[in-house]
Amino acid sequence: MRADPVANTPPAAAPAPSAANPSEPLVQVRDLVKHFPITRGIVMQRKIGAVRAVDGVSFDVGRGETLGIVGETGCGKSTTAKLIMRLLDATAGEVRFDGQDITRLRGARLKAVRREMQIVFQDPSSSLNPRKTVGSIIGEPFAIHGLEPGKGARKRAVQALMETVGLNPEHYNRYPHEFSGGQRQRIGVARALALRPKLLIADEPVSALDVSIQAQVLNLLRDLQRRFGLTLVFIAHDLSVVRHMCDRVAVMYLGKVVEIGPAEAVYDHPRHPYTGALLSAVPVADPAASRGPRALLRGDVPSPANPPKACRFHTRCPKAQERCTVEEPALADKGGGTRAACHFPLTPEELVAIGVRSAR
């Protein structure tokens, strides 16, 4: 029997918590901003604007908790994840990890923090080097951080990781193209787990996989979270997947969090009209079930380079009034542990009308 990777790779895994504890945040995001400049010219580039990818995002992630981030394509989900990981530098704002401000760390101090946080990317085909064997890919974090110096010890640790994520350890010398999509994603998960991080960010980890494989990868992530005491940030556009995985949910629209709260509260009684529209569009398993008219949003998503003033959702919101065009709503408590940025939150009767809640 092969040794468990916990015995072969530092730091040792933390015991899995019995429940998420948001009162003890591992990650604290405050007023996070990321603007990408728009320039004109080839030799003498001149800034003519900016894409407001993330524009004042704040939230906490408790130790052992799973926070889901959802929203339409281009809302800033993945950019937020990259800012937390320091794969991008923030334009403004602060990210605190385990009590330490990491926003401006450099060099060896940033490298040390990166041992504690890892990411699983959306497309396993493009996130794995096709010229390297699986053993080399999974073992690369050991080399980067100077761990497991012995070749034999590193191989044993990698094979133990492969076994942990459901891969055959004997396939150590195979290349990524010799694996299926689901297996390649397991390789990415094994690589992310190599350094026993405290935080794991999963950026739409199942969107590129067949439906039949998605449940296997999701169950693997949940099992690994319990086993190693991971804190998980789960990014997705599939609301059913997020409800299955997450303790709390943050809904983003045009670079801002418009609603955040416990998963059950957000799904059963959403307060923001945008959240209600997203949930209204989720297909039901029973085609004979009548849910009434869906909440159809008018128009297209505005450009993040020129977002609407005040409430960014007012150009598509069926409840918008004059106040929404001149006063930006704050993310405020709406009951049930949910906070929403809306002047005119949804009522129970409106949720029934759009099929989010039952009339019973």
**Final residue belonging to a domain, choices 200, 222, 250:** 250
211-228 and 181-193 helices, crossing angle to 10°: 20
**Final residue belonging to a domain, choices 220, 250, 280:** 250
Pairing of strands 231-235, 199-203: parallel
With a CB cutoff of 8 Å and minimum separation 6, the contacts of 302 are: 254, 308, 312, 315
Is 360 within a domain?
no
207 and 274 share a domain? no
**pLDDT at 326 > cutoff 50:** yes
Burial of 284 from C-beta contacts in 10 A (0-12 / 13-18 / 19+): exposed
271 and 206 share a domain? no
At residue 15, the pLDDT reads 39
**pLDDT at 271 > cutoff 60:** yes
Return the structure tokens found at 139: 């073992």
85 and 153 share a domain? yes
Q: Are 75 and 253 in contact (CB under 8 A)?
A: yes
Q: Residue 54: how many CA atoms within 13 Å on its side-chain side?
A: 25
Q: What is the distance between the alpha carbons of residues 61 and 95, in angstroms, rounded to a whole number?
A: 11
Return the structure tokens found at 42: 């080839």
Q: What is the distance between the alpha carbons of residues 275 and 258, in angstroms, rounded to a whole number?
A: 8
**pLDDT at 324 > cutoff 80:** yes
Burial of 21 from C-beta contacts in 10 A (0-12 / 13-18 / 19+): middle
DSSP state of 204: S
98 and 245 share a domain? yes
173 and 319 share a domain? no
Each residue's pLDDT tens digit, 132-177:
999 999 999 988 888 866 788 889 999 999 999 999 999 999 999 9
Return the structure tokens found at 51: 């894409």
**pLDDT at 178 > cutoff 70:** yes
Is 205 within a domain?
yes
With a CB cutoff of 8 Å and minimum separation 6, the contacts of 144 are: none
Which of 295, 315, 320 is closest to 303 using CA atoms? 315
Is 142 within a domain?
yes
At residue 147, the pLDDT reads 80
At residue 47, the pLDDT reads 85
With a CB cutoff of 8 Å and minimum separation 6, the contacts of 134 are: 162, 167, 171, 172, 173, 174, 175, 176, 179, 187
Is 255 within a domain?
no
Structural domain span for residue 133: 5-250
Q: What's the whole-number mean pLDDT along residues 238-261?
A: 93
Is 257 within a domain?
no
269 and 237 share a domain? no
Q: Are 46 and 39 in contact (CB under 8 A)?
A: yes
217 and 156 share a domain? yes
Q: What is the distance between the alpha carbons of residues 196 and 358, in angstroms, rounded to a whole number?
A: 43
Each residue's pLDDT tens digit, 16-65:
343 455 558 999 999 999 999 998 877 778 888 999 999 999 999 999 99
**pLDDT at 294 > cutoff 90:** no
85 and 209 share a domain? yes
296 and 200 share a domain? no
Q: Are 42 and 223 in contact (CB under 8 A)?
A: no
**Final residue belonging to a domain, choices 250, 276, 298:** 250
What band does 287 get if pLDDT is binned at 50, 70 and 90?
A: low
The number of distinct structural domains making up the chain is 2
| Sequence letter at residue 189 | V
Domain of 193, CATH number, reads 3.40.50.300
Q: What's the whole-number mean pLDDT along residues 86-98?
A: 96
At residue 239, the pLDDT reads 87
Return the structure tokens found at 65: 């908790």
DSSP state of 356: S
Q: Give percent above pLDDT 70 in the chain.
A: 90
Q: Give percent above pLDDT 90 in the chain.
A: 67
163 and 290 share a domain? no
Is 175 within a domain?
yes
Greater confidence, 206 or 234?
Answer: 234
β-sheet bridge partners, residue 232: 66, 200
At residue 149, the pLDDT reads 67
At residue 11, the pLDDT reads 36
229 and 323 share a domain? no
179 and 47 share a domain? yes
How high does pLDDT run on average in the chain? 88
Is 258 within a domain?
no
Distances (CA, A) of 1 to 79, 148, 155, 163, 245: 42, 20, 15, 11, 31
